A and B are shown apart, each in its own frame.
Chain A
Amino acid sequence: DAGVIQSPRHEVTEMGQEVTLRCKPISGHNSLFWYRQTMMRGLELLIYFNNNVPIDDSGMPEDRFSAKMPNASFSTLKIQPSEPRDSAVYFCASSSGTLTNEKLFFGSGTQLSVL
């Protein structure tokens, strides 16, 4: 298994543009997480899906952010319109179960720069 796959690896866009980040979790995993990493705040959980259903989206910063998981093998995080303060590394992670001691597997991340 190639692990959690994210695309693109890098995204540079201009303020106001729509940005779509993609994630393919590990096959068989039923939990998927989107995190944002910044120097100031570290890793922040944006949204969490369990069996394709959003369970906790309290970390989504504002209405400009949205996430979907149309099936077990694909998820998107969309920012519309994007702003410079959205610049960060966005990570997707998946896990196989719902126990609290489950290990998370992370993707390589998408480095987003909004100019």
Chain B
Amino acid sequence: AQRVTQPEKLLSVFKGAPVELKCNYSYSGSPELFWYVQYSRQRLQLLLRHISRESIKGFTADLNKGETSFHLKKPFAQEEDSAMYYCALSAQLTGGGNKLTFGTGTQLKVEL
């Protein structure tokens, strides 16, 4: 069974401070990991996925298989980063398709 853990429900940082949103996973196969973000009054949307090894809006996330982690990081937080962040893990189903399992989410609040 696959499981995603986000230990912090709320993370509050000051503008300009570094941000790290923690995500740990449990999965027996080869994981595909994602970060989704939900800004106030907007739809949940993809922020980044580990396979792309990309930086989006200054955020990066590195898959660490040894620690089974996929923490989201940004060196300098901005006010517009305030949002709910979900870590997610995708796994193939025997019946076809893939199943995306989300963590419980972390609310990031960037204060001035």
Residues of A within 8 A of B (CB): 3, 31, 33, 35, 40-45, 48, 50-51, 53, 55-56, 91, 93, 98-104, 106-109
Instruction: Let me know if B45 is at the binding interface, CB within 8 A.
Output: yes
Interface hits, B1-26 → A, CB 8 Å: 6
* List of 9 A-B pairs having minimum Cβ-Cβ separation, nearest first: A42-B104, A50-B97, A43-B102, A100-B32, A55-B95, A106-B44, A100-B90, A100-B98, A42-B105
- Confirm or deny: B65 has a beta carbon within 8 angstroms of a beta carbon on chain A: no
Instruction: Return the contact of A55 from the options B90, B93, B103 (Cβ within 8 A).
Output: B93
Main secondary structure of the interface of B (DSSP, over half): strand
Q: Given that A48-B99, A106-B43 are known contacts, is A43 also in contact with B93, CB under 8 Å in the complex?
A: no
Q: Are A98 and B96 also in contact (CB < 8 A) when A42-B105, A91-B44 are?
A: yes
Question: Are B43's CB and A99's CB within 8 A?
Answer: no
Contact residues in A for B44 (Cβ distance below 8 Å): 43, 91, 93, 106
Q: Which residues of B contact A48 (CB under 8 A)?
A: 93, 97, 99
| Complexed CA–CA distance, A76 and B90 (Å) | 24
> Bound state CA distance, A3 and B44, in angstroms?
12
Pair A101/B100 contact, Cβ less than 8 Å:
no
A38 to chain B, nearest CB (A): 9
A50 touches B103 (CB 8 A): no
Complex Cα distance, B101 from A51, in Å, reads 20
What residue in chain A is nearest B33 (Cβ atoms)?
A101
